[in-house]
Amino acid sequence: MSETIQPKATIVIFGATGDLANRKLYPSIYRLYKSGKLDENFAVIGLARRGWNNEIIREKVEQSIQGLISEGEDISEFTSHFYYKSFDVTSTESYTDLKFMVESLEREYHTGGNRLFYLAMAPDFFGTIANQLKDHGLKETSGWTRLVIEKPFGHDLASAKKLNKELQAAFEENQIYRIDHYLGKEMVQNIEVIRFANGIFEHLWNNQFINNIQVTSSETLGVEERAHYYDTSGATRDMIQNHMLQMVALLAMEPPINLSTEEIRSEKIKVLRALRTIKEDKVSKYFVRGQYGAGNIGGEKVIGYQDEADDLKDSATETFVAGKLVIDNYRWAGVPFYIRTGKRMKEKSTKIVVEFKDIPMNLYHKKDDLRNPNLLVINIQPNEGITLHLNAKKTGNGNLTEPIQLAYHQDADSGINTPEAYEKLLYDSMLGDATNFTHWDEVALSWEFVDRILASWSNKKPDFPNYESGSMGPKAADELLEKDGFHWWPE
């Protein structure tokens, strides 16, 4: 059995009073502690402008992990590792005090001088914080220093380049950990294992045997409290540029020569480089955008996007995107990758469907519409697992066939509580494993790809809303596949 590595570190969270820290980071730190991945040698410093103190942050942490603690459990030992400092990231004096605080906690918790700076704040501050940390000597330590950056990484290629330049003036690329939380999801990480540890799939994983690949990430939620951010972003920047293209890269990449961070990233980068550039005047052939109107989800009436806030009236922001990606390389020539994502859809689900080609002569089905192609379905959430759709003999006399499914459900079968994406990524960042973080080249290539689509859309005002809440998006998203002779496999 391999020994659990327990990294030692001071974790400095910028934006400690915010939603992400509360909903994701504190519970993740607790789960790492509970599972023995963090021992006593860690301290957390929370920073934000609010006038909290150590007692308040400890109470807030306790509240944020309520759902995880058992009755009567004493978590005071855990919360005693949390400290708070009221801090304005734009004020240079604050950093001098922060350095003093970090050094003092390092001595107390024997963290070996290891420092993880987690920027859970609006991206406008990323460059300032990185440079202030450098200028105030917070990178000068006997241990390691790493910077974890939340999304969005820029608004387009130009702003992403600018941000990257600012970060790289202060930190080396190998110290920068750009979060894409989909890369922390168990079944997204499983894509490589399913492919590269199973001959039956990898031998068939190419244009000779695969008809098309479909990646769907649908949400039932609307924009919630984030209307302001979302309206400047839209589904393309919010989901396609990062999570969806990352999943496509993992599905399409060549086997790396080993499992090192550099080799895996390098293969993903090659996929993004091979994505066929869509000329602005051809975007409508490949991409469909949508915005939700009012509707019904799970028996409840919900309002349309434009009614979510006063300033959304007449908004042209897309809450749904479907697209056909073409990967111009030897393995994938002729195989479309269809992607779709949207808010206020019928169900919350992320799923990959690999549709295999039929055999050259099917003895059992003469008519195409009766055939059930073999499908490999990778369920990412809410259920985790894989299902293989096959054909088998129908019980009884005759040569009739029926579709059957071989299913593996992660939770049910392994019996363990799947770690949260953020928990895994936080742990990886402390171990110095950047494999499941995005390299700058991946970010830049993804922006380059989506910028063209957005530029084309910005020239024409859409007729929104064009899909009902509770549906699977606009009709045009179905037509995108129908014109190629395919359809979306049911949700």
Ligand X SMILES: NC(=O)C1=CN([C@@H]2O[C@H](COP(=O)(O)OP(=O)(O)OC[C@H]3O[C@@H](n4cnc5c(N)ncnc54)[C@H](OP(=O)(O)O)[C@@H]3O)[C@@H](O)[C@H]2O)C=CC1
Binding positions for ligand X, rule: CB under 6 A: 15-20, 48-50, 87-90, 120-123, 150-152
Cβ neighbourhood burial of 159 (10 Å; 0-12, 13-18, 19+): middle
Peptide bond into 382 cis (omega under 30): yes
Q: Per the annotation, does 89 bind a ligand?
A: yes
The annotation status of 343 as a binding-site residue, yes or no, is yes
For residue 118, give the nearest of 102, 103, 134, 129 by alpha carbon. Answer: 129
Q: Rule CB under 6 A: is residue 150 a binding residue for ligand LXAUTJHC?
A: no
Containing 201, the helix (H) or strand (E) segment is: helix 199-202
Interacting residues with ligand LXAUTJHC between 266 and 325 (CB under 6 A): none
Catalytic residue, from 155, 243, 389, 439: name it. Answer: 243
Q: Which is nearer to ligand X, 48 or 481 (CB)?
A: 48
Partner in contact with 123, chosen from ligand LXAUTJHC, ligand X, none, beta carbon below 5 to 8 Å by kind: ligand X
Query: Which partner, ligand LXAUTJHC, ligand X, none, binds residue 48 by CB below 5 to 8 Å per kind?
Result: ligand X
CB 41 within 8 A of CB 111: yes
* Cα(325)–Cα(327) distance, integer angstroms: 6
Q: Binding string to ligand LXAUTJHC for residues 326 to 365, with x set by CB under 6 A, is what?
A: ------------------------x---------------
Sort 318 into a burial class: Cβ within 10 Å, 0-12 / 13-18 / 19+. Answer: buried
Cβ proximity to ligand X: between 50 and 195 the closer is 50
Q: Does 238 bind ligand LXAUTJHC (CB under 6 A)?
A: yes
Q: Decide: 37 and 68 in contact? Cβ < 8 Å.
A: no
Q: Which is nearer to ligand X, 31 or 324 (CB)?
A: 31
Contact partner at residue 122 from ligand LXAUTJHC, ligand X, none, CB < 5 to 8 Å by partner kind: ligand X
To the nearest whole angstrom, how small is the minimum distance from the Cβ of residue 381 to ligand LXAUTJHC? 6
C-beta of 33 vs 422, nearer to ligand LXAUTJHC? 422
Shortest distance, position 227 Cβ to ligand LXAUTJHC, whole Å: 11
Is 186 among the residues that bind ligand LXAUTJHC (CB under 6 A)?
no
Contact 469, 300 (CB under 8 A): no
Continuous segment of H or E residues that includes residue 342 = strand 337-342
Rounded least distance, CB 119 to ligand X, Å: 7
The whole-angstrom separation of Cα 266 and Cα 249 is 11
Count Cα neighbours of 138 within 13 Å in the Cβ-side half-sphere: 28
List the alpha helices (DSSP H) in 222-282.
227-235, 245-252, 261-274
State both tokens at 206.
């190419």
CB 18, min distance to ligand X, A:
2
Q: How far is CA 286 from the centre of its chain?
A: 23
- Tell me, yes or no, if 243 is annotated catalytic: yes
Applying CB under 6 A, which residues contact ligand LXAUTJHC? Answer: 217, 219, 238, 350
Residues designated catalytic: 243
